[in-house]
Amino acid sequence: MGRAEAFAMKSAPIPSLIDGIGNGLGYGFVLITVGFFRELFGSGKLFGMEVLPLVSNGGWYQPNGLMLLAPSAFFLIGFLIWVIRILKPEQVEAKE
């Protein structure tokens, strides 16, 4: 939020609008991605429909209750950052 405000104060309205839209889309993408994996691995369902057949219903998947708890989002965000840094090494900060 602070970065967006700092950019908006120094820039014209149109670039600030585009920056805000880009930030919102990026944040939304992260939320949807994290929510997707938490629901899929936490309950075996997506949008209320069973995707991974549960053991209790004669299937093979045992739901991971940890994925439904709040700390799992931090693990998933850390995993996303790790994947991005593996795929884009130029994003890694230089050692001092």
What would the pLDDT profile of 53-86 be if each residue is shown by its tens digit? 999 999 999 999 999 999 999 999 999 999 999 9
Q: What percent of the chain has pLDDT above 70?
A: 100
User: How many domains does the chain fold into?
Assistant: 1
pTM of the model: 0.80
Instruction: Show the domain range for 65.
Output: 2-91
81 Cβ neighbours under 8 A, 6+ residues apart: none
Confidence of residue 50 (pLDDT cuts 50, 70, 90): very high
Q: Is residue 96 part of a domain?
A: no
Beta carbons within 10 angstroms of residue 20's beta carbon: 13
Lowest mean pLDDT among 1-5, 8-12, 65-69: 1-5
Tell me how many degrees the CA angle 27-77-15 measures, rounded to the nearest 5: 25
Q: Is residue 81 part of a domain?
A: yes
